[in-house]
């Protein structure tokens, strides 16, 4: 039988082997890499659910749900647009921003937008806390504690999916200095040069390349 591990602190959770449970929407999702995890470690009680105003930046606790962020006056409109990509209100009540980043899905709702808003993550690692750019984060790279995002970034979001409830083929976001793409079947890319495309049931490689180039062009980049 699989096990639920309850811990007394995030530091204790770091020392355990298993999948982290936050909002819980990824742990049983079809095709989720977490689906076969033998042990699940409940970390939600220890994650911050606060949003703090830090001038031109906001610090978002990793335990904030999509719905709580959508109702917060501190969240900039470009991030609310990305949060609303998760179209089901039921899912938005459960899913956390930290969990969405940590799952590092190739149809990520938030990573392109956050990366284009110069997001930095405060991550708990065995050696202590570190602050890293979102582009440096890797799945299984510690426990995300908070996300700091520019409020003033001029972010343009793009997303293509068959329906509002479907997995996205391409999600992309652009600001004056950053661009980020989540390409279904290929991965997440933090620059244009590293983009790669693979054909799958969501679309051909050519289709995904076309969408990525179209979005880049519409964002004002050549």
Partner 1 sequence: MLDKKITFTLNGKKVEFIGDPLRRLIDTLREDFGLTGVKEGCGEGECGACSVIKDGKLVTSCIIPMGAVYGADIWTIEGIRDTELGSTIVEAFADGGAVQCGFCIPGMVLASYVLLKEKSDPSEEEIRQAISGNICRCTGYDLIVKSIRLADERRRGV
Tell which residue, 69, 56, 131, has the closest CA to residue 99: 69
Nearest to 79 by CA among 71, 162, 144: 71
Told to check if 90 binds partner 1 by CB under 8 A, we report: yes
Q: Interface with partner 1 by CB under 8 A: which range of 24-32, 105-113, 129-137, 195-203?
A: 24-32
For position 40 contacting partner 1 by CB under 8 A, the verdict is yes
2 part of the interface to partner 1, by CB under 8 A: yes
Report DSSP letters for 160-219, one per residue: EESSTTSPEEEEEEE-SS-EEEEETTTEEESSSTT-----BTTB-HHHHHHHHHHHHHHT
CB of 45 to partner 1, least distance (A): 10
Q: 43 or 58: whose CB is closer to partner 1?
A: 43
Smaller CB distance to partner 1: residue 97 or 153?
Answer: 97
Instruction: Indicate which single residue of 44, 70, 74, 198 sits in contact with partner 1 (rule: CB under 8 A).
Output: 44
Backbone Cα Rg of the chain = 17
As given in the structure block, the two tokens for residue 174 are 């652009």
Contacts to partner 1 by CB under 8 A: 1-7, 21, 24-25, 27-30, 37, 40, 42, 44, 67, 87-91, 93-94, 165
């Amino acid at each position: 039988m699989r096990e639920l591990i309850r811990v007394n602190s995030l530091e204790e959770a770091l020392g355990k082997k298993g999948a982290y449970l936050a909002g819980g929407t990824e742990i049983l999702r079809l095709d989720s890499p977490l689906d076969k995890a033998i042990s699940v470690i409940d970390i939600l009680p220890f994650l911050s659910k606060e949003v703090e105003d830090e001038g031109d930046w906001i610090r978002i606790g990793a335990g904030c749900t999509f719905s709580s962020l959508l109702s917060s006056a501190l969240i900039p409109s470009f991030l609310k647009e990305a949060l609303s990509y998760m179209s089901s209100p039921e899912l938005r009540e459960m899913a956390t921003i930290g969990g969405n980043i940590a799952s590092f899905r190739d149809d990520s709702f938030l990573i392109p937008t956050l990366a284009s808003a110069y997001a930095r993550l405060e991550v708990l690692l065995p050696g202590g806390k570190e602050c890293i750019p979102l582009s440096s984060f890797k799945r299984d790279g510690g426990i995300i504690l908070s996300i700091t995002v520019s409020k003033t970034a001029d972010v343009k979001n793009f997303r293509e999916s068959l329906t509002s409830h479907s997995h996205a083929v391409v999600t992309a976001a652009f600001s004056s200095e950053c661009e980020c793409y989540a390409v279904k079947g290929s991965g997440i890319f933090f620059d244009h040069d590293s983009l790669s495309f693979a054909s799958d049931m969501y679309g051909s490689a050519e289709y995904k390349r076309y969408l990525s180039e179209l979005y880049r062009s519409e964002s004002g980049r050549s």
